[in-house]
Structure 1
Amino acid sequence: MLKAHQILVRSIALAVCAASLGACGQKGALFLPDTPAARERATLPQTLGIPGTSESQGGAARKPAPPTAAAPSTPPAAAQ
Structure 2
Amino acid sequence: MLRASQILVRSVALAAAMASLGACGQRGPLYLPTTPAASQRATLPQTLTPGQAETAPAPRTAPASSTTP
TM-score (normalizing by structure 1): 0.45
TM-score (normalizing by structure 2): 0.49
